[in-house]
Amino acid sequence: MIRPMGVQRTAWHEGDHVRDLAAEFAGWRIGRGGSGHWWAVRGNQLVRTLNVDELRIRLKELDGLRAVRPHG
> Looking at the predicted structure, is the pLDDT value of residue 55 above 60?
yes
Is 38 in contact with 4 (CB distance < 8 Å)? Answer: no
Give the end-to-end CA distance of the chain in Å, rounded to a whole number.
Answer: 56
Residue 71 has a pLDDT of 61
Which one has a higher pLDDT value, 59 or 10? 59
Task: Quick: pLDDT tens for 14-41.
Answer: 788 899 999 999 999 999 998 999 999 9
Residue 59 — pLDDT band, cuts 50, 70, 90? very high
Instruction: Provide the whole-model pTM.
Output: 0.72
Q: Residue 51: which of 27, 21, 23 has the closest Cα?
A: 21
